Chains A and B, each alone.
Chain A
Amino acid sequence: MLIKPKPDLTYADVTPRGLYMGRRNFLLGALTTYGAVTAYKRLPSLFGGKAKGSVPVPIQGVQKWPGSTTEPVTPVEKVTHYNNFYEFGSDKSDPARNSGNFLTTPWSVSVEGECEKPRKYPIDEMMHLAPLEERIYRHRCVEGWSLVVPWIGYSLSTIVKLAQPTSKARYVAFESYYNSIVMPWATGTGIEFPYVEGLRLDEAMHPLTLLCFGMYGDTLYNQDGAPVRMILPWKYGYKSVKSLVKIRFVKSMPPTTWNNYAPNEYGFYSNVNPGVDTVPWSQAEEMRIGPGLGLFNAKIPTRLFNGYNEVASLYAGMNLRKYY
């Protein structure tokens, strides 16, 4: 007798054609998505080519400044990939991406206005007018985050003394480099260029006021304001102009970029002050950007003058709510 084995699979088990095709569509869809996303992520490197701009180089013979903070230093990758430098775009990641072709040689800074010795300083000469110091400063952004950065430079007072401001000079105006062809990303960011800033002459003379040429042992990164910038650790970050081209001694309070944009939010002085809020940010505390992922990084209380009490005498008797 012939025993016919029962087949394992019958027609009832056949996957319906629609479902089978559906699975194919599904796989196709998933693969296409994967491919599209991968291609998208690679796009910048495909078309960007090799960056032709200036790159940081080590600075030799830098002294350690005794006043440096001992707080943990922010990793250099974070300081160089989280920037407000609207000439290269308004997103924090834009400057690192867009400043690669920025050439900072040749470069000179013009010192002019109400002074006895106006002149243009080529960057190489300017860099060695005083011994370079590494100063680890706290850096507080008006947006509520802060960094700890080892900057390299010397006090701006060196330049002021060399220029010999006249008795008419009461303020110092600063101007950043701007070229709409080199910096097409600036258009549409909402503020005016070139970026301008200013200080009272006594603020400019304060020893904390740093003319900065480097960071983390190297010359400045393009996205952090190469080749020379200001660092004013007791003021919000936007006061510290990047890629400086002009220092001008003037009689009256010079216009400043963010004050021009929104005078009720950003004052001329812009001293770090936990008691004066700025819409839309509270200034009472700050997110310290340090080592590690930072999802649960500590928020710390913000201090008046960012903790640099030695500048308090500059503002003695002034109502800091009025002169914010």
Chain B
Amino acid sequence: MIRLLTSKWTKVVVFLLCLFPAADIALKIAGNEEPSLMWSWFNYDLSANPVKYIEHFTGSWTLGFLAITLAITPLRRVLHLPQLIRFRRMVGLYAFFYVCLHFSTWIVLDHWQQWSWNAIWADLLKRPFIVIGFAGFLLLIPLAVTSTAGWIRRLGGKNWRMLHRAIYATACLGVIHYYWLVKSDHRAPLAYGAIFALLFLWRIGDWLLERRRRGAAAEARSKPHVTAESA
């Protein structure tokens, strides 16, 4: 298991797996144009409204990759597999990749006809769910930029970790964005919300346990001193 995790090929496989949803969309577009192409195992279904389909699909995968990114730390600890850290940056960057696809689909395919930044800005401000989603997207940009080893060094581990806690905010904003967008069936956004809540709760629990352990350790350090004095 450890060898599998540390193999460089595993990283390649994970990289390709993460690319799969994007490839799926690309092949479906190609398949719609030319359904006789060899990849007949795709069902070519971009729905009757492909723009909305792609927006929904890339949006869901953004939330999915955010959840996987946030699951890596708990999984490392619970499964005693610290090697999983190798994949966290890649998966996190994939969340950013899919949100970029999501955002550019909205910008380009929803507005190409009457292209004007004013109209896009008005469209954005008019609808709270887009404002929320946009805020979540903006928050991810500095995280993607500072994901390199160089930036971790420049910022220092503590600052870097502080900055990258913005991912919690993005996850919340993403769920609200999704929740406000659906008409009446809130099960899907609530499911994402529940996953994130679970991942957050684990962190809070871990933090509380850690604090108690530290408190106990400090007490243990001070106790012999006290007994020595009273003796």
Interface residues of A (CB under 8 A from B): 18-19, 21-23, 25-26, 29-30, 33, 37-38, 41, 74, 78-79, 81-82, 86, 90, 92-93, 143, 145, 188-191, 261-262, 277, 279-280, 282, 287, 289, 293-299
Contacts and interface: CB of A to CB of B under 8 A. Distances in A.
Interface string B42-75: 1101111111100000000000000000000000
B208 interface: no
A142 to B, nearest CB: 8
B24 to A, nearest CB: 9
8 contacts: A30-B13, A41-B43, A81-B47, A188-B185, A262-B184, A280-B127, A293-B46, A294-B51
Given A22-B8, A26-B13, A38-B41, A261 B48 contact: no
Contacts of B9: 19, 22-23, 25-26
Contacts of B7: 18, 21-22, 25
Nearest to A80: B48
Contacts, number: 101
B204 interface: no
B123 to A, nearest CB: 7
A93 B45 contact: yes
B186 interface: yes
Contacts of A78: 48
Contacts of A297: 51
Contacts of A188: 185, 187
Nearest to A38: B41
A312 B228 CA distance: 95
Contacts of A189: 184-185
A148 B186 CA distance: 30
Nearest to A290: B48
Interface in B20-34: 20, 29, 32-33
Contacts of B113: 298-299
B50 A294 contact: yes
A81 B48 contact: yes
A25 B126 contact: no
Given A25-B9, A90-B185, A261-B184, A33 B17 contact: yes
Given A93-B45, A188-B185, A295 B123 contact: no
A19 B10 CA distance: 11
Nearest to A89: B185
B176 to A, nearest CB: 12
A261 B33 CA distance: 40
A29 B17 CA distance: 10
Contact of B184 (A23, A41, A190): A190
7 A-B pairs with least C-beta separation: A190-B184, A78-B48, A82-B48, A22-B9, A90-B185, A26-B9, A29-B13
B221 to A, nearest CB: 44
B215 to A, nearest CB: 44
Contacts of B187: 188
Contacts of A82: 47-49
A20 to B, nearest CB: 10
Contacts of A21: 7
Contacts of B43: 41
Contacts of B127: 279-280, 282
B109 interface: yes
Contacts of A298: 113
A293 B42 CA distance: 16
Contacts of B103: none
Contact of B47 (A26, A93, A261, A279): A93
A261 B186 CA distance: 13
B38 interface: no
A26 B9 CA distance: 6
Contacts of B47: 81-82, 92-93
Contacts of A191: 184
A113 to B, nearest CB: 28
Interface string B120-159: 0001001111100000000000000000000000000000
Contacts of A18: 3, 7
Contacts of B8: 22
B166 interface: no
A23 B13 CA distance: 10
Contacts of A190: 183-186
A129 B94 CA distance: 60
B78 interface: no
Nearest to B127: A280
